[in-house]
Amino acid sequence: MTTVTGPIITCRHTAMFDYDFMRHAFAAATIVAVVAGLVGYFLVLRGQTFAGHALAHVGFTGATGAVLVGLSPLAGLVVVTVAGGIGMGFAGERLAQRDVAIGMVLSLSLGLGLLFLHFFTAYATQVTALLFGNVLSVDTDTLWALLALGGVSIGALGVIARPLLFASLLPELAEAKGVNLRLFAVLFLAIVALATAECAQIVGVLLVFTLMVGPAAAAQRLTSRIDVGLALAAGLALAEAWGGIALAYWTDWPSSFWITALSATVYLAAIVVRRVVT
């Protein structure tokens, strides 16, 4: 009988959920996918996907900086990403005309993160996980942190959802009715920042688009109804996350790759369906 080592190899001969790391992976993916789907729907609706991508790179700088001074990478990721989101929110409508500036911030943030890594190479593996994600490494403490962040994100989104939707679809009318566009822009991008920090634990900062943009964009291709679109975005994100982990289990390929591949496939399928129907 052949003896094998390592959880990835031995788990082929047992049930998928016999291992704590697999149960943690599916639990973490569930939390993050639901948050990413709901928040991502508004992000796509408001045309702020590029700003969301920039926040992920800003968060990478925060995570590597936190490691450099001996703090939790997740804490640094959350704090710096939220600060970046609030700053972008205060830029208001001007943000739409500043793609170049956002791109420069994005590049500079990634460069600073690499510089911090240069000074503290002992955490190179951990930082690689931040870049590309490693859902199979989620421990119990991280799971509880994700649950808390997810609860805050969804709760805050629920509170501002109506005025945010009004401000997103009819900004001039909303402002005339007394809706503070700047305030809701700040609050929403702070929520986006929390969701981005969560997504980074699953697919990494370089692939945040996978869960925050792909399912939401596909949902908006398939339906124009807001309630159905929100549910569909969360459902697609959840299916892609679960499917990616399951495929990683059977193939030994990275779960982030599979989640990304499924997200792209679903989005392309939604485009085809939309064209066939219309």
Asked if the structure places residue 137 within a domain, the reply is: yes
Asked if the structure places residue 276 within a domain, the reply is: no
Asked if the structure places residue 209 within a domain, the reply is: no
Domain count, the chain: 1
Q: Please check whether residue 153 is in contact with residue 15, taking contact to mean a CB–CB distance below 8 angstroms.
A: no
User: What is the rounded CA–CA span in Å between residue 100 and residue 156?
Assistant: 30
Asked if the structure places residue 132 within a domain, the reply is: yes
Asked if the structure places residue 176 within a domain, the reply is: yes
Range of the domain at 184: 17-204
For the purposes of burial, counting CB atoms within 10 Å of the CB of 55, is it exposed (0-12), middle (13-18) or buried (19 or more)? buried
Name the region of 63 (left: φ>0; alpha: ψ -120 to 50; beta: rest).
alpha
Domain CATH number, residue 125: 1.10.3470.10
Asked if the structure places residue 220 within a domain, the reply is: no
Asked if the structure places residue 214 within a domain, the reply is: no
pLDDT in tens, the chain (278 residues): 444 444 444 445 457 788 888 999 999 999 999 999 999 999 999 888 877 777 877 877 877 777 777 777 778 888 888 887 787 767 655 555 456 556 666 667 767 766 776 676 655 566 666 666 778 788 888 899 889 989 999 999 999 999 999 988 888 888 888 888 888 888 898 898 888 888 877 877 767 778 889 999 999 999 999 999 999 999 999 999 999 999 989 888 888 889 999 999 999 999 999 888 87
